[in-house]
A and B are shown apart, each in its own frame.
Chain A
Amino acid sequence: MLRLENISKVYPGVRALDDISIEFQDGEIHGVVGENGAGKSTLVEIVGGTIKPDRGAMELNGSVVAFSEPSEAKAKGIAVVHQHFQSALGLSVTENVLLGSPQLSKGLVNWRDAHKQAEAIFADLGVLIDVRLPMRALKPAQQKFVEIGRAIYGAASVILLDEPTAALDGEDSDRLFAAMRLLSQRGIAVAYVSHRLEEVMTLTDRVSVLRDGHLIGTWPTEELGLDTLITHMVGRELSSFFSDHPEPRPTTVLDVRGATIGDRVHQVDLQVCEGQIVGLAGLLGSGREDLAKAIFGAVRLSEGTIFVDGLQVQLRSPVDAVRAGIAYVPGNRQEEGLVPTMDVGENLTLASLRDLRRHFLVDRAREEETSKSFVERLRIVATSIAQPIETLSGGNQQKVLVARWLATMPRVVILNEPTQGIDVGAKAEIHQLISELAATGLAILILSSDLLELLTMADHILVMNEGRVEASLPRAEATQEKVIEAATGHTAASGASPWATKC
């Protein structure tokens, strides 16, 4: 049994976990749910020994434990399967399973023995994998199972899975769930971290809900309905936050035809009208992000044409996209958005710098004027435009990135995961901002893993699966179930027929 007591963790600008106490009991499957940014990942990292909590303690089977490295957690029998793949792709399955175990680092390795052990693990989980194959030869679902195999190799007493089904289809998910049930029957404490609520409802014995770094509560799953779970998660009724932007105008701004990117995206058509918000849903690897980046020139189209305001545009790089009036607010703020060493003003003007230049020099007076006007207009909370960007809260950082693009006077704004990792209050503000932008006549394309966000913001939702548009749903017809079904390729009425959004 693993007990967390009063765990807290603070990052610059965000309280990731605030006084969390949870008990993962032996033999139970314990769901941990929450929106993006609720603190789930921080929790996983603390339990797995990747980061240390600022305050609080962990108790494993009655004795207090503290880890300064993942290997220490693993040695105590705590196994973590991370959301993103963490495997050595060039090594064999067996090597990946034994990665980090003393067997691989002490003296000679008895490979026949090692392969046998790995095979036994997969036989146990009920999956068929050739353990001699290199990891990269495996399908994503198989790779996930190898990571689970690594987690349970040795004597795990607690296993944490962080969004394990993000890259899996329905059938593989079922196989994974069967394996999880098997582990719990053996007395292992299984923690299942996810924002897929249907899965949590059917699979788990108890559920803990996190919101904004706080633990809202822990309940036996059977006492909860899906509606109550959602309310606990988002903290308010779903109906209270529908976007209230006016009806789109009947002018097509962005028109994408037959977009194909290698074997990742196939023949996608997409239109966004003036003042319209189109949502793009899909799982990891659905081609969603590739498509968005291609519309922004950051990924090359192998086939297809893009029109902005009726004129065809050639996008060889984002430089061309900026000229064509297309803006892209990236999904991963830290990796693709912020320039960490610069201040608010410098981050804000990065995309519009060429308009702020006089000869070779940056016109500082105009730069300051631009920055200040956006800080005011988007209600960015900063002491001054000279404040280091890193010291802003996640929500305000996101606003700076949106402002970076508004300063280029775009026609089309693509927002990738616009509210990932920011707290609920800031989220509402960003949603309000997006509605306002739509009202000014911008064409807006939102990519989001947050279904509620898409359902409440978008006039129209496209669902991608395996590089194709699987469903096209006007707001009135879109439901959580339909989107999930299409995203996992299980649409009953899936047709190859072309469709169009109506302006």
Chain B
Amino acid sequence: MLKWLKGVVTNREVLLALVLLAVFLGVGIRVPRFVSRGSIINLLFDASTVGIVAIGLTIVIIGGGIDISIGSILVASAIMAGLIAQEDVSPWIAVGTGVAGGAALGAVNAMLITKLKIPPIVATLATLSIFRGVLTELTKSKLIGGLPSSFTAIGKGRVGGVPYPVWIMLGLFVVAALAMRFTGFGRVVYSIGSNEAAARLSGVAVSRYQALTYVISGSLAGLAGVVFVARNGTVLPTSGSGLELLVIAAVVVGGTNIFGGEGSIAGTAVAAVLLQTITSAMVVLGISSAWQGAVIGVTILVGVTIFVFGQRRRERELLA
């Protein structure tokens, strides 16, 4: 029994979920309305943008890469989808445009990284500026708005009282978690992130799989962009800047090794909700928003420190 309990508590995802529950109930003692169905739904609703993007980034990071252009891809896709939606076409065409646009920008990253062999952090740092810069110029910094209600329903509509974006996020969490665990793709991505040379020398088409992770990340950022613009009804070229930091935070706190090879979608899912809970809790507790960044930063450090200590202990156990 004790051993079983130890197993549960040392499981990172479970540990994170317990922390999430503690934060949630802790805040609930001070502010009872925080623990209501509506509040929980709002929490998940607010977490959905970061959550969807974080799925793609988790896959990229597990594969040994990094993509910091996701915020720019998100806003670029949001603008593309918004512009198409303004033409009063079927909302599905607008969704398709946003996702395909995101995938195309992800493919640009993939090409820079796998063909031109530019280090991922440098390549996506460049595209982070390029994607947003080009957009600002093309749209003359104008706000995109006046979207038809058939399109905005994607962001605002509800099933069973739960908004579509939440369903989309939860569905993608499940699909991605299963894919990373049970498909050949998942296995190969883990192996590349853990030891790229070994994977290559085992006949794995490393570049192709790496490229795929960036395209997936781009597509998901694109989809998140569509949801974003549909929900808010408007988007500016400056929207979503700094988003990449929150997304990276969710991935890292979720236990994914920033150097690749280890991590899980489940961890990212719980961490994304945890970070949103902390942010929302600070709002309802009336703590100055200036503190938010600092608190998120501390959460990252605590999360990663626990991870590093866990790893050291595993190493010691290996020796024993």
* Interface positions of A (Cβ within 8 A of B): 10-12, 296, 298, 317-319, 321-322, 328, 330, 335-342, 346, 350-351, 353-354, 356-357, 360-362, 364, 388, 390-391, 404, 408
CB-defined contacts of A391 to chain B, threshold 8 Å: 318
Chain B 179-194, CB within 8 Å of chain A: the 1/0 string? 1001111011011001
Alpha-carbon distance A409/B200, docked complex (angstroms): 18
CB-defined contacts of B191 to chain A, threshold 8 Å: 339, 342, 346, 350
Closest 3 CB pairs of A and B: A322-B203, A351-B202, A341-B194
Alpha-carbon distance A72/B202, docked complex (angstroms): 41
A340:B195 contact, CB within 8 angstroms: yes
> Pick the contact of B319 from A10, A317, A362 — CB < 8 Å?
A10
Q: B205 on the interface (CB 8 Å rule)?
A: yes
CB-defined contacts of A340 to chain B, threshold 8 Å: 194-195, 261
CB-defined contacts of A346 to chain B, threshold 8 Å: 187, 191
| Chain B interface bracket (under 10, 10 to 19, 20 to 34, 35 or more) | 20 to 34
Chain A residue at smallest Cβ distance from B185: A360
B200:A318 contact, CB within 8 angstroms: yes
With A298-B200, A318-B201, A404-B202: A342-B184 Cβ-Cβ less than 8 Å = no
Q: B198 on the interface (CB 8 Å rule)?
A: yes
Chain B residue at smallest Cβ distance from A328: B201
Q: B199 on the interface (CB 8 Å rule)?
A: yes
CB-defined contacts of A364 to chain B, threshold 8 Å: 182
Q: B197 on the interface (CB 8 Å rule)?
A: yes
CB-defined contacts of B179 to chain A, threshold 8 Å: 360
> Pick the contact of A350 from B185, B204, B205, B319 — CB < 8 Å?
B204
Q: B46 on the interface (CB 8 Å rule)?
A: no
Considering the complex, which residues of chain B in the window 169-227 have a beta carbon less than 8 Å from any beta carbon of chain A?
A: 179, 182-185, 187-188, 190-191, 194-195, 197-205
CB-defined contacts of B194 to chain A, threshold 8 Å: 339-342
CB-defined contacts of A335 to chain B, threshold 8 Å: 195, 197-198
A360:B203 contact, CB within 8 angstroms: no
Closest approach, in angstroms, between the C-beta of B216 and any C-beta of chain A? Answer: 14
Between-chain CB contacts (< 8 Å), 11 pairs: A321-B203, A322-B203, A330-B197, A339-B190, A341-B262, A350-B191, A350-B204, A351-B202, A354-B184, A360-B184, A390-B318
With A339-B195, A340-B195: A319-B203 Cβ-Cβ less than 8 Å = yes
A342:B197 contact, CB within 8 angstroms: no
Alpha-carbon distance A85/B318, docked complex (angstroms): 31
> Pick the contact of A336 from B201, B203, B261 — CB < 8 Å?
B201
B182:A362 contact, CB within 8 angstroms: yes
CB-defined contacts of B199 to chain A, threshold 8 Å: 339, 350
Chain A residue at smallest Cβ distance from B197: A336
A318:B184 contact, CB within 8 angstroms: no
Chain B residue at smallest Cβ distance from A358: B184
18 new A-B contacts, CB < 8 A, other than A318-B204, A337-B198, are A10-B319, A318-B200, A318-B203, A319-B205, A328-B201, A335-B198, A336-B198, A336-B201, A337-B201, A339-B261, A342-B194, A350-B199, A353-B204, A357-B184, A360-B185, A361-B182, A362-B182, A390-B318
CB-defined contacts of B201 to chain A, threshold 8 Å: 296, 298, 318, 328, 330, 336-337
CB-defined contacts of A360 to chain B, threshold 8 Å: 179, 183-185
CB-defined contacts of B197 to chain A, threshold 8 Å: 330, 335-336
Chain B 290-320, CB within 8 Å of chain A: the 1/0 string? 0000000000000000000000000000110
Closest approach, in angstroms, between the C-beta of B194 and any C-beta of chain A? Answer: 4
Chain B 19-39, CB within 8 Å of chain A: the 1/0 string? 000000000000000000000
Alpha-carbon distance A337/B191, docked complex (angstroms): 11
A318:B202 contact, CB within 8 angstroms: yes
A341:B203 contact, CB within 8 angstroms: no
Closest approach, in angstroms, between the C-beta of B204 and any C-beta of chain A? Answer: 7
Alpha-carbon distance A298/B188, docked complex (angstroms): 18
A362:B202 contact, CB within 8 angstroms: no
Alpha-carbon distance A351/B205, docked complex (angstroms): 11
Residue of B182, B187, B198, B202 most packed against chain A (CB within 10 A): B202
CB-defined contacts of B262 to chain A, threshold 8 Å: 341
Residue of B183, B195, B204 most packed against chain A (CB within 10 A): B195
CB-defined contacts of A362 to chain B, threshold 8 Å: 182-184, 187
Residue of A10, A317, A330, A341 most packed against chain B (CB within 10 A): A341
A342:B190 contact, CB within 8 angstroms: yes
Closest approach, in angstroms, between the C-beta of B14 and any C-beta of chain A? Answer: 20
Closest approach, in angstroms, between the C-beta of A236 and any C-beta of chain B? Answer: 31
Alpha-carbon distance A138/B187, docked complex (angstroms): 44
Chain B residue at smallest Cβ distance from A390: B318
Closest approach, in angstroms, between the C-beta of A414 and any C-beta of chain B? Answer: 11
Closest approach, in angstroms, between the C-beta of B65 and any C-beta of chain A? Answer: 16
Alpha-carbon distance A404/B204, docked complex (angstroms): 13
Closest approach, in angstroms, between the C-beta of B181 and any C-beta of chain A? Answer: 9
Alpha-carbon distance A328/B185, docked complex (angstroms): 23
Considering the complex, which residues of chain B in the window 255-300 have a beta carbon less than 8 Å from any beta carbon of chain A?
A: 261-262
CB-defined contacts of B205 to chain A, threshold 8 Å: 317, 319
CB-defined contacts of A330 to chain B, threshold 8 Å: 197-198, 201
Alpha-carbon distance A350/B194, docked complex (angstroms): 12
Residue of B182, B190, B191, B261 most packed against chain A (CB within 10 A): B191
Closest approach, in angstroms, between the C-beta of A381 and any C-beta of chain B? Answer: 16
Closest approach, in angstroms, between the C-beta of A196 and any C-beta of chain B? Answer: 29
Chain B residue at smallest Cβ distance from A360: B183
Chain B residue at smallest Cβ distance from A297: B203
Alpha-carbon distance A407/B200, docked complex (angstroms): 17
Alpha-carbon distance A31/B249, docked complex (angstroms): 53
A361:B190 contact, CB within 8 angstroms: no
Alpha-carbon distance A346/B205, docked complex (angstroms): 17
CB-defined contacts of A336 to chain B, threshold 8 Å: 195, 197-198, 201
With A341-B262, A342-B194: A361-B200 Cβ-Cβ less than 8 Å = no
A353:B318 contact, CB within 8 angstroms: no
Closest approach, in angstroms, between the C-beta of A416 and any C-beta of chain B? Answer: 10
Residue of A319, A322, A338 most packed against chain B (CB within 10 A): A319
CB-defined contacts of B182 to chain A, threshold 8 Å: 361-362, 364
Alpha-carbon distance A78/B191, docked complex (angstroms): 41
Alpha-carbon distance A341/B261, docked complex (angstroms): 7
